[in-house]
Structure 1
């Protein structure tokens, strides 16, 4: 049957049954991995992915655990096809790889196992499982190496085509080679076996599906599913006016150099396709933040699919509607020997932020309400990593602990409401935060607190989600070494349409504390009762940091950017935030302009109106050049969408609060006034915490744009300048 014949007379029920069957298979593969793995990174935090590919390396379906891996998974399968002739593949084979340079992995700990699938002697596809393994050798326990200057120091690198199972039996030589190069060989090998078990589950289920429908019908309907997914995504893109959009973001150091590293992206919308070009990004560095091209593709797809294909079946079709290019030898497409062990969680997530930013700027121009309402503040999008390695006091056993609490970032503000608190990174929305009790059971640790970081969310008409704030101490070990990285410390996620940036992330060690005294007196240790001789705020990237019994490791996680001017947030929502202790009464007044009182409503309406008017006047007085307001605020804000500038039929942007013209440029800042201040100090005024980086040649500044007619904040952006 030709494709045109099938499209003219296909059975939609069969199409949907096969599609959902494939989705269920990859989810069952994930369950098999969780139930057979011994690693809490997999079992508790779900840092894995499972997928099914056809015989050409196109993916049928993909699990929802870590979306970022789709780029690396696809590259891994296609690299295997280039490395091993299909006639040399057999039922029961499994191939392992983890090299970002040759196999597309996000970083070496993200190890991939690929198994060919045969039906009636014909190669019909591949089952692919990928998971973060606790240790992969190299100079630093845990696989993240801030001090590495080349990829050879980071890990044992496995290129495509390395056979780990041969016709159902483990290849013992490969097992011994790997075990000889990792610090926790038993756990590592068991996790490899769990990925093989996951693939075997997928193989059995896919073979049964093909048996049920027949190979020809299965292939016809999966190909049609690709085409329909692509069509829907392209139709959404056609709803966006053609245009070119550009922006930059900055990676904060490379592990041993504190300089900012540029990630640049130019997005071109043309007809029914979008091109993302990362030309202009910094050259690759000799630090661990270089992002493999596979991870870059996954980072772009993460945001593109979330904003445009939120309800589209996630298969190969959605990837065809956009194109990703990046010059070789850059931080977003490095060559050997560039180190890459943290590229996806630093440079990669910067790419995700950029795509979110650029697509929001484009989608807001759409006349299709469904598309235009996909705009959002940027997510906290990073991973604040802490890896602890040491020896248990009771057994003398060496352990490596990658604390998955680091994924508890806040998401960006939405038009429908506030961002999600501790919602995770956009590329890993299927990740989970581990239970405190499980971490304490598995590792020699005692948690002192784990709560929302109220100083991490970006204020706005709708606010960004909050990250988490937690602290723990050693409990069953005398001393450990820590590897830490906090990619979002000084350059936080942007807000949108006047929403403020979110907060940053970081680590501090409280040395020589009174913890033993508090515990002996049965007093709950928290940030108000713990006393420390010194508080050591750690660099953005560090390894080999000693943590001793009695010390406290404190971590705070980035939040999401806000959306819309905070002065347009309904007073009732501000009062609710005050009652929930998310906002202080003082901040409610100075930032949101809401005067809280003891009335039934919770605020003084007249005083609130006067306070908001005064704040708007002060903004215009501080602007460059200073102006006086000429129009009254007339907006009636029902949700955050009402706080976004709108464009009329003549292409003129209108202020959401007073409806005055903001100009006719592609953006809405042509006729605004602006104020630029050091970012850390200005955000501190907003109750948002980021690391100060205002001095030197690469200072981080916050530029705020106001409607010159009424003083409404319509855009904020971060700049890097002296």
Structure 2
């Protein structure tokens, strides 16, 4: 069952330390060297994973996470990849420990993807390797990656499914290597139950190799410095990260900060029924509670969120990102268990953010991005220098699939389309970039056209003007695919019936859309969430991603920046006049300073 909590309580991902080492003093130089080594090994793990992986989602989009963890599941380091993947691995370890604690042996390799026992969601395979030193279990090397298919009702992505078992093959703490002995029959059974066995086999081997290189590098570090020094240094780094985050929290006035109520399009089945997202940020001294009370009840589709594996990581990532923004923080602050300690989250049982077993929770990324977006908007009034306006916050994951030529398997391609960021104090929003919790890359069009019967006819920024503001909102992407063969389409996107919000006087952004055969008599607007819609050969699919909100009063925008936007065709001269109070002379591409001053002054006077 889902975790039952009192409304005043919260849950933290931070683990208690049950030390199996002696704490020693570590000099500053050694401390820095060990910190750098931990950071480097996590990055190397990720490099191994995405270079070896077969599926484009891991190989090209880098939808993965990797890191080293102590015996208690505390995160010592993580890769610079998808925050959700990295932040959920401690929960994977807790889920595995509940079954296997006390049974680990050198050479074990554990595969896990159960969303009610720590996994971010079932397509995210987690591979965990216990690390031994001088015969003692002292930690874990772990990684996760989104594989192309896990079986279940539909290829790639599924929305309209009855429960968690219908999602696909669930692996709960399964030893695919037991004391160094590979269980080939178990692995073959797993691969026999997916539609993309070749891709999954390659991805699984890449995940194993990733964790093994982490194990190897961590043991090399222990061989050089010893367990006591390495773990004492890791403790220092975790304490440092915790104190840096707590110091930023202490600067926020105590209080309860609520975001405007948001709404997700629907649950993928009950059309026209939006889902409520309620987010409250409670700041008390140096602790933060993210309270999701008031959010929608769980739904009968896959559009629910695993609490421990997805909600908790997004709460931590949002607070850390806002308060320890690398652009505004001179000191290096590593991401580790220390960042989990000041942040808790609460979601009532039986809601979309804490569903009751066995509800499906396959599709959860649009929801968690809205949590992040709402945390940011809730804190904007007290953190105007750090918060941003509303972002697209609608990760658009689409699976295209069809029967392979051999007639025995499927081809499955999962792409992430790019929305945009909202503007912030001093900076325009970033255009056509994956926003907030995802941190994934776009897949090259050439790779898809080379391997699948689809052709990209358009891939660029949206035509609509960006949201006005002293700093303008980012512009989402638009992509048009031409289908050369009948293709199944599965989507867990959210086009945002409520557009990304402007902040502190900025204008709202723009919602997204899916359109079949745009600009023709056969034009059809599709829902953002679909379950195996067929896009026929000769059809076109246009995907428009949301554009972010503006920040600050548009009439305070630098007139030269407005002129540049007109020059770059982001705005028309009329929009510059109407939205920004700037008069642009397009004959000689100058700003009419006198007319601009008069126009802006007339608004103030009125």
* Per-residue deviation, 1:391: 3.2
Q: How far apart, CA to CA, are the structure 2 residues paired with 1:552 and 1:599?
A: 39
Runs (5+) with no aligned partner, structure 1 = 365-372, 512-530, 617-630, 633-709, 711-722
1:583 aligns with 2:599: no
Q: Residue in 2 aligned with 1:210?
A: 222
- Larger RCO (CA within 8 A; separation ≥ 6): 2
- CA 1:609 to 1:397, structure 2 compared with 1: closer, same or farther past 3 Å? farther
CA distance in 2, matches of 1:154, 1:226: 37
1:289 matched to 2:303? The reply is yes
1:275 aligns with 2:286: no
Which of 288, 312, 317 is residue 302 of structure 1 equivalent to?
317
Question: Which residue of the partner structure matches residue 141 of structure 1?
Answer: 155
Please tell me whether the aligned partners of residues 398 and 489 of structure 2 are also in contact (alpha carbons under 8 angstroms). yes
Deviations 1:457-502 (A, max 9, x none): 4321111222211112124xx3111112431331222221111222
Structure 2: 5+ residue runs without aligned partners?
1-18, 327-332
Deviation at 1:35, TM superposition (A): 2.4
Instruction: Answer yes or no: is the 8 Å Cα contact 1:309–1:318 preserved in 2.
Output: no
Q: Which position in structure 2 is the counterpart of 1:227?
A: 239
The 5 Å alignment of 1:353-502 reads 353-364=373-384, 373-391=385-403, 398-406=409-417, 408-429=418-439, 431-455=440-464, 457-475=466-484, 478-502=485-509
Q: Residue 154 in 1 paired to residue 167 in 2? A: yes
Which residue pairs with 2:562 in the alignment?
A: 574
Structure 1 length normalisation: TM-score? 0.77
User: Which residue matches 2:37?
Assistant: 21
Would you say 1:69 and 2:79 are equivalent positions?
no
**Match of residue 7 from structure 2:** none
**Conservation of the 8 A alpha-carbon contact between 2:153 and 2:168:** yes
Mapped to 2, the partners of 1:559 and 1:428 lie a distance apart of: 16
Aligned to 1:319: 340
Measured against aligned partners, the alpha-carbon deviations of 1:29-58 in whole angstroms (never above 9, x if no partner) come to 111112221111111110111111101000
Between the aligned partners of 2:302 and 2:48, the Cα distance in structure 1 is: 32
Q: Does 1:109 align with 2:118?
A: no
Q: CA deviation at 1:331?
A: 1.0
How far does the alpha carbon of each residue in 1:343-362 deviate from its partner, in whole angstroms, 9 at most, with x for none? Answer: 2x122111111111123233
* Preserved contact between residue 65 and residue 145 of structure 2 (Cα < 8 Å): yes
Query: What are the superposed Cα offsets for residues 212-239 of structure 1, whole Å, 9 maximum, x if unpaired?
Result: 1111111111111111111111111111
Q: Deviations over 1:78-119 (max 9, x none)?
A: 121221123x111221111112112x2222111111111111
- Indicate how the Cα distance of structure 1 residues 403 and 504 shifts in structure 2: closer, same or farther if over 3 A, else same: farther
SS in 2 for 1:544: strand
What whole-Å deviation, never above 9, does each CA across 1:534-587 have from its counterpart, x for those lacking one? Answer: 111101211222212211111111222211122221111111011111112222
State the match for 1:338 in structure 2.
Answer: 359
Cα deviation digits, residues 142-186 of structure 1 (max 9, x gap) = 0x2221132222222222x21122233331232132122211112
- Call closer, same or farther: CA 1:297–1:400 in 2, change over 3 Å: farther
In 1, the alpha carbon distance for the partners of 2:374 and 2:598 equals 37
Q: Does 1:594 align with 2:582?
A: yes
- Distance (whole Å) between structure 2 residues aligned to residue 428 and residue 65 of structure 1: 9
Any conservation in 2 of the 1:385–1:402 contact (CA below 8 Å)?
Answer: no
For residues 420-453 of structure 1, give each alpha carbon's deviation from its aligned partner in whole angstroms, at most 9, with x where no partner exists. Answer: 1122121122x21111111212222211111012
RMSD of aligned Cα (Å)? 2.1
The one of 545, 551, 557 equivalent to 2:533 is: 545
| Alpha-carbon distance in structure 1 between the residues aligned to 2:492 and 2:597 | 44
CA distance in 1, matches of 2:465, 2:58: 27
- Contact 1:110/1:130, CA 8 A, preserved across alignment: yes
Change in Cα spacing, 1:183 to 1:456, as seen in structure 2 (3 Å) is: farther
Alignment match of 2:277 (pick from 263, 273, 276): 263
Is the partner of 1:68 in helix, strand or coil?
helix
The DSSP-based 3-state class of the residue aligned with 1:50 is strand
Task: State the distance in 1 between where 2:495 and 2:160 align.
Answer: 19
Structure-1 residue corresponding to 2:110: 95
Pair 1:329-2:350 in alignment: yes
Greater gyration radius: 1
Q: 1: distance between equivalents of 2:507 and 2:114?
A: 38
1:51 aligns with 2:39: no
Report deviation, 1:253. Answer: 0.5
**Corresponding residue number in structure 2 for 1:669:** none
In the aligned structure 2, how far is the partner of 1:315 from the partner of 1:388?
Answer: 36
Question: How far off its partner does 1:456 sit?
Answer: 7.0
Deviation for aligned residue 1:613? 4.6
Paired residues of 2:263 and 2:497 also in contact (CA < 8 A): no
User: How far apart in 2 are the matches of 1:402 and 1:497?
Assistant: 40
Return closer, same or farther for 1:347/1:212 CA change in 2, 3 Å cut-off: same
Q: 1:315 to 1:93 in 2, by over 3 A?
A: same
Structure 1 residue aligned with 2:596: 608
